[in-house]
Structure formats: C-alpha cells, structure tokens
Amino acid sequence: MKDAFRTLAAPTSAKLVRQRSRFIALVEPIEDAEAARARLGEIRRRYHDASHCCSAFRLVGDAAPSRISDDDGEPAGSAGIPILLQLDGAGLENVLAVVVRYFGGVKLGVGGLARAYADAVAEALANASIVERIVTIRFAVRFPLEASAGVMSAIHHHEAKILDIRYDTEGQAIVALVPSRVEAFRRSLTEGTGARARLEERS
C-alpha cells in the first residue's frame, strides 16, 4: 500500500445538457466500498425519478487502486467506464463519482453518451479542491518495562507517531506508521528488545 494518495477535500458537482438530456455529476470523497455503496443508494433515492444513475469509484488498494463502475442500464461501456476514466486521469482515490441522467427524448448513441458522462465528471473535477492524504496503520506495541529504551528507539528511528502510551505491569504504546516503514519497524523492535516486544495491528 502506498504512503499517501490524492483525493477530494470536499464534494463537488456540475450540470450539463446534451440534446435535452440533463446530466448531474456528483463527486465526493469516501472511505471504503461500503460507504460508496451506501452513498450511491442515498443518491438513487434522492433522484428516484431519473432515467439512469451511473457511477464509478476508486479506492486505495494494497498494490493498485480498486476500481468499480456501473452503467445502470445505459449501453455497456457508455457511462461507468467514461466516469471511471476521469477519476483515473485525475489520479484520485477514495472517490465516488455519480452522474444522474434525465433523458430528454433524443438518443445520443454510445459515443455521445460516453462524452456526456465523461464531460460531466470532468466539469465537476475542474471545480474540485484536491488534497493529499497520508496513509497510516495503527499498532499496539506491548513490552516488558525493562525493554522501554529499545521500544522508544525503534519508535523514534522510524518516525512512528505515538497516539497513546501507558505503563503498568507492562508497557503499551499505540503508534501509527506509514505502510512503507512497518516491516523495518517490526525488525527494529525485535532486535532492540531481544524479541520481547509484541506488535499487534489495530483497526
């Protein structure tokens, strides 16, 4: 998984008309696939009288972004993929794009539809504020009190952020690291504490 990704700072939208068909693009940041599907359901209920509610979303993945698209009854490849390609081109992740279409009585053809759906998203993105998000993974580090120095050395050397630290019969530190540093941090803990520290991933 990458250490950072580009996404939207806030939802953005745009409207356009092609041959009397109205296209409403809604693009917004999301956290995961479950949130994307829930939000898509809300939009479909809000625009229940629309002809189509086509969508795509991209999510941060371990090796590559997860990419999902839906034509929602439009000809195959004429809506979901053009929407998704706009997100690809902008390099955005953890983003949902939905384009609501109200049919105006004139058929646009596959090419015309693809351009309309892509243009609606492109117009929304032109008004968007883009931010970079840092990816972190949370861990609990449990260790005997006499191993504190080794634990603290590993934390500082690998720039782990301490979220909480407590000392009782044993020590426990809650830390956050970027993905690229996790394995090296794990090795440092093992070496610096004689394998007495335990590292447990937290949700």
Residue-wise pLDDT for 117-167, tens only, equals 999 999 999 989 999 999 999 999 999 999 999 999 999 999 999 999 999
Q: Provide the sign of the torsion angle of the four alpha carbons 191, 196, 197, 200, taken in this order.
A: positive
Q: Is the pLDDT reported for residue 198 higher than 80?
A: yes
Number of domains in the chain: 2
Q: Which residues contact 199 (CB under 8 A, 6 or more apart)?
A: 139, 140, 141, 185, 186, 189
What pLDDT does 202 receive?
86
Q: In which band, very low, low, confident or very high, does the pLDDT at 8 lie, cut at 50, 70 and 90?
A: very high
Same structural domain for residues 31 and 89? Answer: yes
Same structural domain for residues 192 and 147? Answer: yes
Same structural domain for residues 126 and 97? Answer: yes
Lowest-confidence pick of 49-58, 59-68, 145-154: 59-68
Q: What is the DSSP string of 131-170?
A: EEEE--EEEEEEE-GGGHHHHHHHHHHTTPEEEEEEESSS
Same structural domain for residues 64 and 24? Answer: yes
Same structural domain for residues 127 and 149? Answer: no
In percent, the amount of the chain with pLDDT more than 70 equals 100
Same structural domain for residues 114 and 186? Answer: no
What's the mean pLDDT in 52-76? 92
| pLDDT tens per residue, range 80-121 | 999 999 999 999 999 999 999 999 999 999 999 999 999 999
| Averaged pLDDT score across all residues of the chain | 95
d(CA 95, CA 87): 8
Measured from the Cβ of residue 66, the count of other Cβ atoms closer than 10 Å reads 15
* pTM of the predicted model over 0.85: no
